[in-house]
Amino acid sequence: MSDCRKTNQVFALVDCNNFYASCEKLFRPDLRDTPVIVLSNNDGCVVARSKEAKALGIKMGVPVHLIKTDIRRHRIQVFSSNYTLYGDMSRRVMTNLEAMAPRVDIYSIDEAFLDLTGIDQVISFDAFGRQVKDTVYRNVGLPVCVGIAPTRTLAKLANYAAKKYLKTGGVVDLTDLARQRRLMARVPVDEVWGVGRKLSTKLQAMGITTALQLADTDLATLRKRFSVVLERTARELNGISCLSWEDAPAPKKQIMCSRSFGQPIRTLSDLEAAAAQYATRATEKLRKGQQYAGELMVFIRTNPFRPGVPQYSKSISVRLVNPTQNSRMIVQKTLSQLRSIYRAGYDYAKAGVMLSELVDETGLQEDLFESSCTGEEDAGRSYRLMAVIDEINQKSRASVFMARAAGPAAHTMRRGHLSPAYTTDWNDLPTVR
DNA sequence: TCTGGGGTCCTAGGACCC
DNA sequence: TCTGGGGTCCTAGGACCC
C-alpha cells in the first residue's frame, strides 16, 4: 500500500445525467417531460432511464418484457441503444472537459475525472464545478453533475450526492473533512464505489451499513476478512489517495467482441458467419491500439435463461505461434476453433471472440513479418492490405470484410426502436422547420 | 417471445521445483 | 507412526465497474 498517501490532490468527477436517455431526448424536444428508457443490445433489458422513468419505479437492468404493462400505461418512450450517437456525444463532452482542466481521465463513455489540484488558488472548487456544468450544457446540451474531493472514491460519493440532492444544484465540493463525514453517515455502504452486492451483504452482516462505518473499520480487519481492494476503498474514504493518475493510459490486456443473436442459431455455417464478424471487429480494435494478439479464445453458448431446453456452453483457447494483428489469420483460427467445439442439435444464443496476451511492436519477436505460414513478402502485403481495409471501413462502417462474414446474417441484432444517426449521417441530420 | 457487452483486478489452489 | 518448507508460475473463477 506504499502508493497510498495523504496528498493535497483534488479530483472532480464529472458524470452525465442519465446519459443515453439524455442523448435521445436532446434530439426530441417533444419528449422533454416524457419518461424515456434505452434498451441493451437486442432490445433485451433497460440500460438507461430518464428521471421521469426512474420516478415511475423502472429499475436498471430489468428485462423489458417484464415491464410491458408499465410502458403502455405510462406511455414510456422506448429506444434501442444507438452507440454511434452516444459515442459522438461523449466525444463532444470530453472535448469540452479537456479544454477546462489540465488533466482528464476518461473513465467511461459518460464520466471523467479532472485534476483540480491547486485550482482553488484562482477560483473556488464549487464555482469551478458550476462552470464545468454550465459549459457542457451550453456547448453540448447535456446535463452533468460534478463531485469534488481529495480522492477518486470520495469524488464518486460527492457526485452521488450532487445527483441525489436537488438543492446542491448538481455540484458538491467535498474537500472539507467534516462535510465528508456528515455525508458518509447518510450514504448506504452499497453506494460506495467498489462495494457491490456481494460485499455489501457481507458487510451488513458485520453491522457495517453506512459509508462512514466502512471508513471507520480497522484496515487490518478489512484486509483479512476481504482483500486489499476493500482496504484501499476504506483508505480512499479517509482521504488517502490510492487511485492516482496513470502516467500513460494502460494498454489493453484483452479485447473481446461478443454478441447475443437476434434469434437462435442452429447451423455451423450461421455460427461461422457470426464468429468471423466478431473476430474481424476484435482485430480492428487490436490494430487501432497497435497491438498484436498472442492468444485467441472462442466461445459459443445456448441461452442459460431457458432451462427447459438442452444447454451447451464451450470455450476454447489457442496460442498463436507468432503474435499477429492480421484479420485473415485470426478469422481463420477462429473458424477452425469454432468447428472443433460446435455440436449440432442446440439452439445457440451467443458467441464471442477474445484476444489476449496482447503485446505492442516492441514485444514482438524479431520475425515480425515472417511467420511459419507466410513469407516475408506475403506478410508485408497483408499488412498493407489490413491498413487499406481499416481506412475504408473508417469512412464507411464495415464496407469491406472477410467473405466468411457475409451471407445471410442470422445473428443480426434486434433493434426495433432505433433513433436516427442525428450527428453522424447527413441523411439523418435534424431539420428545423 | 423476450434477460447486454464490454473491461479490470485479485485470490485461491494446483503443479512443479529445490 | 511418521508425512518439510519454501518458492514460482499458471489458471480458473469471483468480485467489481459502467
Residues 37-56 of A with CB under 7 A from strand B: 40-42, 44-45, 47
Q: Are A149 and A157 in contact (CB under 8 A)?
A: yes
DSSP assigned state of A166: G
Give the CA A317 to C1' B13 distance in Å.
21
pLDDT band of A418, cuts 50, 70, 90:
very high
DSSP of A33-66:
TS-EEEE-GGG-BEEEE-HHHHHTTPPTT-BGGG
- pLDDT one-digit tens code per residue, A133-174: 999 999 999 999 999 999 999 999 999 999 999 999 999 999
CA distance A129 to A173: 8
Give, as one character, the DSSP assignment of residue A292: B
Q: Do A143 and A110 form a contact (C-beta atoms < 8 A)?
A: no
* Chain B nucleotides with an atom closer than 7 Å to a protein C-beta: 1-11
Residue A193: which nucleotide is closest by CA–C1'?
A: C17
DSSP state string for A192-216: STT--HHHHHHHHHTT--BHHHHHT
C-alpha–C-alpha distance, residues A300 and A339, integer Å: 11
Q: What residue type is assigned to position A46 of the chain? A: V
d(CA A37, C1' B2) / Å: 17
The string of pLDDT tens digits covering residues A363-382 is: 776 544 444 444 444 556 66
Q: Taking each helix axis from N to C terminus, what angle separates A152-164 and A228-237, rounded to the nearest 10 degrees?
A: 60
Assess whether A278 (CB) lies less than 7 A from strand B.
yes
Is residue A110's beta carbon less than 7 angstroms from any atom in nucleic acid strand C?
yes
Distance between the alpha carbon (CA) of A260 and the C1' atom of B2, Å = 13
Q: Across residues A379-392, what is the average pLDDT?
A: 69
Q: What is the pLDDT of residue A395?
A: 59
Does the CB of A138 sit below 7 A from strand C?
no
CA of residue A75 to C1' of nucleotide B9, angstroms: 42
**Interatomic CA distance for residues A208 and A376, integer angstroms:** 63
Question: What number is the average pLDDT over the span A351-369?
Answer: 77
Q: Name the residue closest to the C1' of B6 by its CA.
A: A256
| Residue A428 DSSP one-character state | G
CATH of domain A254-405: 3.30.1490.100
- Does the CB of A305 fall within 7 Å of any strand B atom? yes
Query: Is the minimum distance from the CB of A61 to strand B below 7 Å?
Result: yes
Asked whether the CA dihedral A390, A392, A397, A401 is positive or negative, the reply is negative
Question: pTM for the whole thing?
Answer: 0.89
User: Which one-letter DSSP state was computed for residue A105?
Assistant: E
**What are the extents of the domains in chain A?**
254-405
Q: Does residue A356 lie within 7 Å of nucleic acid chain B, judged by its CB?
A: no
Rounded distance, CA A320 to CA A282, Å? 15
**Residues in contact with A427: Cβ distance below 8 Å, sequence separation at least 6, in sequence order:** none
Residue A398, pLDDT above cutoff 50: yes
Contacts of A326 (CB under 8 A, 6+ apart): A283, A379, A382, A383, A386
- Determine the Cα–Cα distance for residues A21 and A13; give it in Å rounded to an integer: 20
Nucleotides of C under 7 A from a protein CB: 14-18
